[in-house]
Amino acid sequence: MKIAVIGQSLFGQEVYKELRKDGHTIVGVFTIPDKDGKADPLATEAEKDGVAVFKFPRWRVKGQAIPEVVAQYKATGAELNVLPFCSQFIPMEVIDHPKHGSIIYHPSLLPRHRGASAINWTLIHGDKKGGFTVFWADDGLDTGPILLQRECDVEPNDTVNTIYKRFLFPEGVKGTVDAVRLIAQGKAPRVTQPQEGATYECIQKKENSKIDWNQTAEGLHNWIRGNDKVPGAWAEVDGQKVTFYGSSLMNKGSTAKGQALEIPGASQPGIVTKAGLVLFGNDGNALLVKNLQFEDGKMIAAAQYFSSGSSAAVELTEEEKSFAEKMRAVWQSILTNVSHIEDSTDFFKSGAASMDVVRLVEEVKLRASSCQLQNEDIYMNTTFQEFIQKCVRKLRGEDDEEELVVDYVEKNTNNMTIKMPHQLFINGEFVDAEGGKTYKTINPSDGTAICDVSLAQISDVDRAVAAAKEAFEEGEWGKMNPRDRGRLIYKLADLMEQHQEELATIESIDSGAVYTLALKTHVGMSIQTFRYFAGWCDKIQGSTIPINQARPNRNLTFTKKEPIGVCAIVIPWNYPLMMLAWKTAACLAAGNTVVLKPAQVTPLTALKFAELAARAGLPKGVINILPGSGALVGQRLSDHPDVRKLGFTGSTEIGKHIMKSCAVSNVKKVSLELGGKSPLIIFSDCDMDKAVRMGMSSVFFNKGENCIAAGRLFVEDTIHDQFVKRVVEEVKKMKTGDPLDRATDHGPQNHKAHLDKLVEYCQTGVKEGATLICGGKQIQRPGFFFEPTVFTDVQDHMYIAIEESFGPVMIISKFKGGEVDDVLRRANATEYGLASGVFTRDISKALYVSERLNAGTVFVNTYNKTDVASPFGGFKQSGFGKDLGQEALNEYLKTKAVTIEY
């Protein structure tokens, strides 16, 4: 069709481009005159294509059409008028002229809200549904018949800007083009607008957007967000007009600490906190405002209301000075009416408008992709010097856009002060559980309580999943360049390294891990894991596939690897931080969002990790941490319809239950790393010193609380007695004690229930007739200490030969030399298949045994040698799926095949 586009703005530009792509001929573009020497984006795009552009200042005078204007329009020969974001009054002589008439985009679900401020009123009224309408134009401007409507959910904290960017703009462009397609096909409906439910509120201008304080917190919140950014809800504070931006409702019962701010007419004073300005409705509930703007146009973070000003200016490096000069040239190209850009040049006082803000933000991204400015950053740093300082702080990673509020529990221990968050972490904030429920986490070294930790409830799980879903579907994380995502994950690893001593200390007092091991492995490998997967972010790719069964046409088939969405992760208590890292790093690298449940007995490093993730700049909702019970939190995550993947490490019994729940709920993807009874075969031709050393490590590493621990050692008969004697000598040298003592080899078991199971486990071995060489008892001292234990003469039918101890218990069986296949049969005669090992100097024997051991990992002449690049996971009832290595990414990706015929 021959189409005349009558409108303006980026929206009009995108509609114009899409109509041309659809094959329509644009016979003329009618838009507003240039402003300050700059053409509207729609005009710029059309002029670039050589399309006729008309910039009439007006179409009518005193209600009458201007004949010359109408004549120029009619000369284009348009068959349809498309009016995307048209702000001018178009006379009916133009509206009715084309044979197909005129269609207009309107940002509301007509007839609910009519008028130029329809989006504002959608939010002010607290509507749960919003959307747009494409309707046939008439002389009522927005009362004509409806052609097409699309709706969306209105989120509780949506503003005009967020709902526009998320839905009204992208879907509005598509909807307008779809409407034109329906017209071209002769299928466009004309649905008369009903009068029932129709509204026509006033145009929101500054003078009528003053806040009425006599309403509920929700009413205040809706009024502020409904006027954000234009025209801005305002009130008198300290004798001047102050405009409020960035409102969000606070949880009922939330408390705020800060400095009181008297606000005339408000039911009670506001409170300036580290998070922003807390305001109260007449119902006693609260809302939080993030930014304030004064009459002179200066915008500040609300948290800075009482501060004397911004921090001292940073001194620029030579590289940063070069960047500043490039940006000075950008300012000059935008502010064409300013002869020279001084440090004191004010962006807005020099004539810049909202479109220029968008351009400036994008210009910064082009020159420094790691400097992700928001529009608010420009409004809050209006002079060139302030702007450059903001950019430089962003580039250095020194800029906290929003101060994270953390109610720490502090302890002086291990020659340092550790600061531990203890609340749930949901949507970028530390919050109390529903009903303020808590439980005590216990130090296994002495059995004393460390602190009270928030205990997540079902509603908390639902809130966390909703936050993760929004962050994935609507937030910046899902739209972020993979390389930028990798930079954030790498920055998180750097922060973890900066806090490694604190993390290791928290891990030690919460799980009983020996501090030196916690520093090297629990924390050290966690840092390595995040760094490794940060590098994978921009290397996830599909493949092209030749297909042969679709002749005679030519075809192209390719695959895409895409993130799954909201992923739940449930981890155990033996390596609280490392298990978090093994799963979360791959999950984030793939582009997903996370709701993680740490083990109830070891929540503290996960909560500290949440704090560091927020400080690294990971967007709200990407990571959520919920301490709580498996029966409640883990079960809800398994059942939740919006969770699309669940990764679990724990017992086989619970793994089976989770797998069943995931299948029944929504067939969510599952990966399971479950129990183990890993065999270690030691042949007589081994390096005995190494076999003893590694055999000890295979069992007693991390107090035996190790999923791949050697659950049963098979030692060739000719060296059996020598091996046992050497092991017992080494066991007796082990120092058991305070895990923070650098000389300690063996710390306490993780928690009391597990200690009791270990005692029962060893008692069963004695009853069955196995020989208890040493250990087997609880140490009589405060805390949950259990002796390193060695059993020999263990027969295949015994309970301790079959079941996992998950503790410092070495189970030794004897086998005859030369009976390789028989010992392999015995080693594989278990429902577990997580790991295994073999010690021999014979390379042929080593390869033969490693081929036949039915386990996901085989160690040859070593043990426990895991690496971030090597996939880790089991066979049989040890589960399926992989952690670590490239294969771990596949657990958090889905493959889409696309076939194109050409």
Give the residue numbers of the binding site: 88-90, 142, 571-573, 597-600, 630-635, 650-651, 757, 804-806
Residues in the chain: 902
Please tell me whether residue 772 adopts helix, strand or coil conformation. Answer: strand
Contact (CB, 8 A) for 737 and 744:
yes
Q: Which two tokens stand for residue 59?
A: 């179409």
Say if strands 623-625 and 593-597 run parallel, antiparallel, or are unpaired. parallel
Catalytic residue among 14, 429, 507, 673: 673
Question: Count of CB atoms within 10 A of residue 55's CB?
Answer: 13
What residues pair up with 712 in beta bridges, in sequence order?
679
| Spatial CA neighbour of 134 closest among 110, 167, 161, 163 | 110
CB burial class (10 A; 0-12, 13-18, 19+) of residue 591?
Answer: buried
514 touches 508 (CB < 8 A) = yes
d(CA 400, CA 332): 28
The reply to whether 152 belongs to the active site is no
The single residue of 451, 587, 686, 707 carrying the catalytic annotation is 707
- Among candidate residues 106, 640, 751, 754, the one labeled active-site is 106
Rg of the chain, C-alpha, whole Å: 33
CB contact at 8 A, 250 and 280: no
716: annotated active-site residue? no
Q: Do the beta carbons of residue 680 and residue 698 sit within 8 Å?
A: yes
Sequence ranges of the binding site for NADP(+): 571-573, 597-600, 630-635, 650-651, 757, 804-806
Question: Do the Cβ atoms of 692 and 723 come closer than 8 Å?
Answer: yes
φ and ψ of 467, to 5 deg: -65, -40
Residue 871 · residue 883 · CB < 8 Å:
yes
Q: Which residues carry a binding-site annotation for (6R)-10-formyltetrahydrofolate?
A: 88-90, 142
Helical H segments across 203-249, by residue range: 217-226
707 belongs to the catalytic site: yes
Interatomic CA distance for residues 855 and 845, integer angstroms: 17
How many angstroms separate the CA atoms of 599 and 586, rounded?
20
Backbone angles phi and psi of 816, in degrees to 5: -80, 140
List C-alpha distances in Å: 665 to 148, 345, 645.
35, 59, 12
Residue 311: CB partners within 8 Å, gap ≥ 6? none
Active site residues: 106, 673, 707
